[in-house]
Amino acid sequence: MHTGLKIAAVAAAAAATFGTAYGVGSGVAPVITENARERQPAHETHDTGRAETETAAETVPGGLQVSDRGYTLDLERDRLPGPAGELRFTIRTGGRPLTSYETEHGKELHLIVASRDLTAYRHLHPVRAADGTWSTPVSLPKAGDYRVFADFTPRGATEGLTLGAGLGVAGTYAPAPLPEHSTTARVAGGYEVRVDGTLAAGAARELTLTVTKNGRPVTDLDPYLGAYGHLVALRAGDLAYLHVHPHDGGPGPEVSFTATAPSAGTYRLFLDFKHDGEVRTAAFTVHAA
Ligand SMILES: [Cu+2]
């Protein structure tokens, strides 16, 4: 899976839904199964005296480190000459590029690129060459400071991780203020997405996102990478990364998630959903108490 943070979040969902036959959405059941498996090592450590260390490690959110658990995100260039270009990178371990990954939600690696001011967001799926080099075209809306997140699970690992690195895009820019708190987001194409529920620090909370188009509920969302929605939360200030998945299999209009904020503060939520064959992103600013 992704990060300790995320696992804590999805584990709560697993507790709520494990054993219930959700047949809709091919990604839902595997998420729960994998979490059940991942939680086992943590339980085993309780008898070994390592539990305290493991717990401390799990409280560090993903995406804040360029190197973690022996894996390093190595961007070929940490600057782009302009907003459109190609990103190339490797995940290095033991001095060599990693070439063996678990598949999560249909992909070996999910790449998020977000502007430091949290107004720009891209969820990309790079292609890996045999030598372990990943590459993807990227088209960003403006120059500025960005952060790149690689979300992956090394083959055979029981837990995924998210590494983060800075990326500068040359050009003149003015950082935007964080968009104000809002429970609705307008998305091109006549869509509006509403978020119900609140994030809480250190406690699992349900967030429900409701998708409408031209005022009507959307009940035929397309599955996208094995789920009806993918939600990423980035913490304002340091861009700590939280990736959660839906625990309800319906194709809309509601998609529900369980998430645990690592701290009180302000977060920017990005929901990727697919409808009429196109992937769209709704963004919200929310506060965690
Ligand atoms: Cu992805």
**Structure confidence by residue, pLDDT tens digits, 79-132:** 999 999 999 999 999 999 999 999 988 899 999 999 999 999 999 999 999 999
Question: DSSP string covering 35-87, please?
Answer: HHHHHHHHHHGGGTT-HHHHHHHHTSPBTS-SEETTEEEEES-SEESSSEEEE
Q: What is the mean pLDDT of residues 6-27?
A: 36
Helix (H, G, I), strand (E, B) or coil at 241: strand
Asked if pLDDT for residue 9 goes beyond 50, the answer is no
- Distance (angstroms) between ligand 1 centre and the Cα of 116 equals 20
The helix (H) or strand (E) run that includes residue 207 is strand 204-213
- Distance (angstroms) between ligand 1 centre and the Cα of 110 equals 4
- Distance (angstroms) between ligand 1 centre and the Cα of 151 equals 8
Q: How confident is the model at residue 32 (pLDDT cuts 50, 70, 90)?
A: very low
Q: Name the token pair of 214.
A: 């031209």
Q: How confident is the model at residue 227 (pLDDT cuts 50, 70, 90)?
A: confident
- Distance (angstroms) between ligand 1 centre and the Cα of 68 equals 20
Structure confidence at residue 48 (pLDDT): 42
- Distance (angstroms) between ligand 1 centre and the Cα of 204 equals 23
Asked if pLDDT for residue 42 goes beyond 70, the answer is no
DSSP state, residue 233: E
Asked if pLDDT for residue 24 goes beyond 50, the answer is no
- Distance (angstroms) between ligand 1 centre and the Cα of 105 equals 7
Task: Mark out the alpha helices in the chain (DSSP H runs).
Answer: 4-17, 28-44, 51-58
Q: How confident is the model at residue 59 (pLDDT cuts 50, 70, 90)?
A: low
- Distance (angstroms) between ligand 1 centre and the Cα of 246 equals 14
- Distance (angstroms) between ligand 1 centre and the Cα of 272 equals 9
- Distance (angstroms) between ligand 1 centre and the Cα of 52 equals 32
- Distance (angstroms) between ligand 1 centre and the Cα of 278 equals 15
Count CB neighbours of 183 within 10 A. Answer: 13
**Structure confidence by residue, pLDDT tens digits, 62-77:** 999 999 999 999 999 9
For residues 273 and 249, the model is more confident at 273
Structure confidence at residue 11 (pLDDT): 40
Structure confidence at residue 245 (pLDDT): 65
- Distance (angstroms) between ligand 1 centre and the Cα of 223 equals 13
Residue 112 vs residues 64, 70, 118, 123, 167: alpha-carbon distances, Å:
13, 21, 12, 5, 12
CA 201/CA 70 separation, integer angstroms: 28
- Distance (angstroms) between ligand 1 centre and the Cα of 200 equals 25
**Structure confidence by residue, pLDDT tens digits, 142-153:** 999 999 999 999
Q: What percent of the chain has pLDDT over 90?
A: 71
- Distance (angstroms) between ligand 1 centre and the Cα of 57 equals 24
Is 0.85 topped by the overall pTM?
Answer: no
- Distance (angstroms) between ligand 1 centre and the Cα of 244 equals 12
- Distance (angstroms) between ligand 1 centre and the Cα of 271 equals 12
Asked if pLDDT for residue 2 goes beyond 50, the answer is no
- Distance (angstroms) between ligand 1 centre and the Cα of 50 equals 33
Structure confidence at residue 246 (pLDDT): 73
- Distance (angstroms) between ligand 1 centre and the Cα of 108 equals 9
- Distance (angstroms) between ligand 1 centre and the Cα of 121 equals 12
- Distance (angstroms) between ligand 1 centre and the Cα of 46 equals 33
Task: Mark out the alpha helices in 103-239 (DSSP H runs).
Answer: none
